[in-house]
A and B are shown apart, each in its own frame.
Chain A
Amino acid sequence: NAGVTQTPKFQVLKTGQSMTLQCAQDMNHEYMSWYRQDPGMGLRLIHYSVGAGITDQGEVPNGYNVSRSTTEDFPLRLLSAAPSQTSVYFCASIGTSGSEDFGPGTRLTVL
């Protein structure tokens, strides 16, 4: 198993640009989630999904969209990037162990 994969690893955007952060898992996990990590604030939940076709908002959803058309993929979209979205983004999934498996992260800078 490749586990949870994320692309790209690094990205620089200009304010107002849009982009999609990709996340995929090959473990057939139903639950997937997106977090952002900022200094001194730990990880904060952006959006999550309990299965294909089902998504819900987390703690900090504004400025982000998600969709879950398949069990494997859970992309995160920034429609109009802002400097406040400069962060490290982690995708995760939960399997039968009950604990989350995290991807390697995407470091995003918005100028």
Chain B
Amino acid sequence: AQSVTQLDSHVSVSEGTPVLLRCNYSSSYSPSLFWYVQHPNKGLQLLLKYTSAATLVKGINGFEAEFKKSETSFHLTKPSAHMSDAAEYFCVVSDGDFGNEKLTFGTGTRLTIIP
């Protein structure tokens, strides 16, 4: 069985400072891992994904995440927060074969940017 834990339900950072959103996962297989972002009253947008290639994954809008198997973590980072980054972020794990995946979502981290 797979599961994902987002360690913080709410993170606040000042504009221009680094962002760290933490995610730990549990999977029986070699997992695929994703980060999605959801802006208020909007749908979900894929930020980045890890699928057993490079462990440091770069995504859109300056975000990146590092897959650490020994720590079962996939934390999302950004060097400098922007006001437009304020949103809810979901860490997602999948350990099925391609075409037959089941995704398990974390409960989300709400990111607030302080001007």
B99 touches A90 (CB 8 A): no
Interface string of A97-111 (1 = CB under 8 A from B): 011111111000000
Instruction: Check if A94 sits within 8 Å of B102, measured CB to CB.
Output: no
> What is the predominant secondary structure among interface residues of chain A facing chain B?
strand
Q: Say whether B73 faces chain A, with CB atoms less than 8 Å apart.
A: no
Do the beta carbons of B107 and A30 come within 8 Å of each other? no
Q: Is the CB of A45 within 8 A of B108?
A: no
Interface size class of B (residues with CB under 8 A): 20 to 34
Task: List residues of B (1-33) whose CB comes within 8 Å of A's CBs.
Answer: 9, 32
A77 within 8 A of B: no
Q: Which residue of B51, B90, B101, B106 contacts A94 across the interface (Cβ within 8 Å)?
A: B101
One of A13-21, A36-44, A65-73 at the interface: A36-44
- Tell yes or no: B49 within 8 A of A by CB: yes
Closest to A45 in B: B102
Q: Which of B74-115 contact A (CB under 8 A)?
A: 90, 98-108
Interface status of B44 (Cβ within 8 A of chain A): yes
* Selected A-B contacts with CB under 8 Å, 14 pairs: A31-B100, A43-B105, A45-B103, A45-B104, A48-B102, A58-B102, A94-B99, A98-B32, A98-B98, A100-B46, A102-B43, A102-B44, A104-B42, A104-B43
CB within 8 Å of B: which residues of A?
Answer: 30-31, 33, 35, 40-45, 48, 50, 58, 90, 94, 98-105
Interface positions of B (Cβ within 8 A of A)? 9, 32, 34, 36, 42-46, 49, 51, 90, 98-108
